[in-house]
Amino acid sequence: MAEQKLMYINGEWVKAENGETIEILNPATGESVGVVSYGDGRDAAKAVAAAAEAFAGWSKLTARERSKYLYNMYELVRNHRDELAGIISAEMGKPVREAKGEVLGAADNFMWYAEEAKRIYGDTIPSSVPNKRIMVIRQPVGVVAAITPWNFPVNMIARKLAPALAAGCTVVLKPAESTPLSAIRLFELFEQAGFPKGVVNLVIGKPESVGQEFIDNPKVRKIAFTGSTRVGKLLMEGAAKHVKRVSLELGGHAPFIVFDDANLDAAVEGLFESKYRNSGQMCICTNRLYVHEAVLDAFTNKLVERLKKAKVGDGRNKDTEIGPLVNERALNKVLDHIDDAKAKGGRIVCGGHRLTEGDYSKGFFIEPTVIVDVTQEMKICHEETFGPVVPIIPFKDEASVVAMANDSNYGLAAYVYTENNSRCFRMAESLEYGIVGINDGAPTQTQAPFGGFKESGIGREGGYYAMEGFLEIKFVSFGI
């Protein structure tokens, strides 16, 4: 049995109070990659107490002092790029090449917020009366409880913790139970970066129990969550009882629209990025592909040609483009969406099956899949598939495709391919989505806002926008 990896609470590596552990398996091979302490709300309570204790000291450091710690993290994460990428790939299957990109993205977040820490500006406002002065300052909200998913197990943590720490908050992180090893390695780097004890805490444990502690514990002032809309709603409901701040990065159902004047080769590459990267397990992944009827056959043929060349395999192999799905539950959901589409008249023009032969036999691999003759009743048209499967839906004109694209409870990301400049602007303005990629299938950048409309969430990560979620505004009135 591998050595048990621990949680990080108040500057110490500790076992779960309940003594339980979980084993982490590589989804490409079924092999064990580690054993981790698996606690519950009691560990969360200890971590929250430590974070609350550390808040006074951390929040009173100067911005430049906090910034230095974040710069240390930037250097450390960059220098451990290959190691972290290997851990990500081993525990959730992401191709190493992509995982390295994710780690560099995380490093970039630490650098960005090391800078942003210095720009927490206030205001002075002219008073209406001569004997008063108005000052507005921004202060950290307090202890932040962060909950992250498994699909970007390093960068999701950086995107929340870097701005929270820059703002002067202390944090307790609960990572996803399938990817705690990436989080543990990142916290070893936090320790190496010299963060004072209690400023960053890591709790790995039962989601409902840890989540309930975050909701009920009055010392937690803000819950920052990325994950499914279902869990986001539960947390928002619980937080509402205490008027606790929340920011929610939730599910998506992205439309990808190809007009008849699009550069079809660029559109195919953009779609490959937005649909098949991370095996289709991204909140901003394309879920509905709308293609103008005049280019339907030409585009479909090019896409199928590209997918037939795509290399599916163990993420640790250098040439792998599409890795396994994270676990059996994820695989079954994707297969269910394919079966449901077939039962309702959908036709598979590429892929459609689980891969089971040879090297694939122990992992959760699925062929990149394209479905045509799609109807609105199919699950794939309104539920998040979270896998490398895309339905193609033809359209006739701009107005009808905008209406179809906006007909969703989700509103995270949308994509448009067209060479018509005026249409670019019209589409950017009319799509009800927080992120719109125009001739761009991979729009995420550290400095840009990331978040959704409708049931895709509340608040924004990225750039200076993320800082607002970790700061309270205080108005100070001076009588003189």
Stretch that binds ligand NAD, among 133-141, 175-183, 239-247, 341-349 (CB under 6 A): 175-183
Among 149, 168, 313, 469, binds ligand NAD (CB under 6 A): 149
Nearest approach in angstroms of CB 176 to ligand NAD is: 4
Among 55, 69, 112, 150, binds ligand NAD (CB under 6 A): 150
Q: Residue 183 in contact with residue 157, Cβ under 8 Å?
A: yes
Q: Is 215 exposed, middle or buried (0-12, 13-18, 19+ CB in 10 A)?
A: buried
Q: Is 62 helix (H, G, I), strand (E, B) or coil?
A: coil
Tell whether residue 412 is a contact of ligand NAD (CB under 6 A).
yes
Among 7, 165, 231, 262, binds ligand NAD (CB under 6 A): 231
Q: Which of residues 107-136 bind ligand NAD (CB under 6 A)?
A: none
Nearest approach in angstroms of CB 329 to ligand NAD is: 9
Question: DSSP class of residue 341?
Answer: H
Nearest approach in angstroms of CB 84 to ligand NAD is: 18
Stretch that binds ligand NAD, among 137-145, 174-182, 262-270, 302-310 (CB under 6 A): 174-182
- CA 384 to each of CA 21, 41, 282, 297: distance values in angstroms, whole numbers, following the listed order: 31, 30, 10, 26
Among 151, 155, 217, 408, binds ligand NAD (CB under 6 A): 151
Stretch that binds ligand NAD, among 38-46, 69-77, 121-129, 243-251 (CB under 6 A): 243-251
Between 146 and 393, name the residue whose CB sits nearer to ligand NAD.
Answer: 146
Among 102, 249, 273, 367, binds ligand NAD (CB under 6 A): 249
User: Computed over its alpha carbons, how large is the radius of gyration of the chain?
Assistant: 23
Residue type at position 220: V
The Cα–Cα gap between 367 and 370 comes to 10
Between 147 and 291, name the residue whose CB sits nearer to ligand NAD.
Answer: 147
- CA 33 to each of CA 54, 178, 185, 352, 413: distance values in angstroms, whole numbers, following the listed order: 33, 11, 13, 29, 34
Tell whether residue 237 is a contact of ligand NAD (CB under 6 A).
no
Angle between helices 41-60 and 207-216 (to 10 degrees): 50
Stretch that binds ligand NAD, among 10-18, 96-104, 222-230, 291-299 (CB under 6 A): 222-230
Known catalytic residues? Answer: 249, 283
The Cα–Cα gap between 76 and 110 comes to 10
Paired strand residues for 450: 461
Stretch that binds ligand NAD, among 1-9, 246-254, 268-276, 288-296 (CB under 6 A): 246-254
The Cα–Cα gap between 369 and 316 comes to 22
Between 123 and 208, name the residue whose CB sits nearer to ligand NAD.
Answer: 208
Stretch that binds ligand NAD, among 22-30, 165-173, 220-228, 264-272 (CB under 6 A): 220-228
Between 75 and 432, name the residue whose CB sits nearer to ligand NAD.
Answer: 432
Among 39, 86, 180, 227, binds ligand NAD (CB under 6 A): 227
User: Hey, CA dihedral for 10, 14, 19, 20, is it positive or negative?
Assistant: positive
Among 20, 75, 177, 440, binds ligand NAD (CB under 6 A): 177
The phi and psi torsions of 161 (rounded to 5 degrees) equal -75, -35
The Cα–Cα gap between 220 and 201 comes to 13
CA angle 180, 184, 187 (to 5 degrees): 140
The Cα–Cα gap between 190 and 73 comes to 7
Tell whether residue 251 is a contact of ligand NAD (CB under 6 A).
yes
Helical spans, DSSP H, in 415-464: 421-430
Tell whether residue 439 is a contact of ligand NAD (CB under 6 A).
no
The Cα–Cα gap between 291 and 302 comes to 13
- In three-state form (DSSP H/G/I as H, E/B as E, the rest C), the secondary structure along 233-293 is HHHHHHHHCCCCEEEEECCCCEEEEECCCCCHHHHHHHHHHHHHHHHHCCCCCEEEEEEEH
The Cα–Cα gap between 226 and 153 comes to 11
Among 21, 89, 109, 226, binds ligand NAD (CB under 6 A): 226
Mask of contacts with ligand NAD, 441-460, x by CB under 6 A? -----------x----x---
Stretch that binds ligand NAD, among 49-57, 136-144, 145-153, 254-262 (CB under 6 A): 145-153
Count residues near ligand NAD (CB under 6 A).
26
Among 228, 263, 317, 430, binds ligand NAD (CB under 6 A): 228
Among 27, 180, 211, 255, binds ligand NAD (CB under 6 A): 211
The Cα–Cα gap between 306 and 371 comes to 15
Tell whether residue 183 is a contact of ligand NAD (CB under 6 A).
no
Tell whether residue 234 is a contact of ligand NAD (CB under 6 A).
yes
- CA 68 to each of CA 56, 187, 282: distance values in angstroms, whole numbers, following the listed order: 18, 17, 32
The phi and psi torsions of 311 (rounded to 5 degrees) equal -95, 115
Nearest approach in angstroms of CB 219 to ligand NAD is: 17
Mask of contacts with ligand NAD, 331-370, x by CB under 6 A? ----------------------------------------
Residues that bind ligand NAD (CB under 6 A): 147-151, 174-177, 207-208, 211, 226-228, 231, 234, 249-252, 283, 384, 412, 452, 457
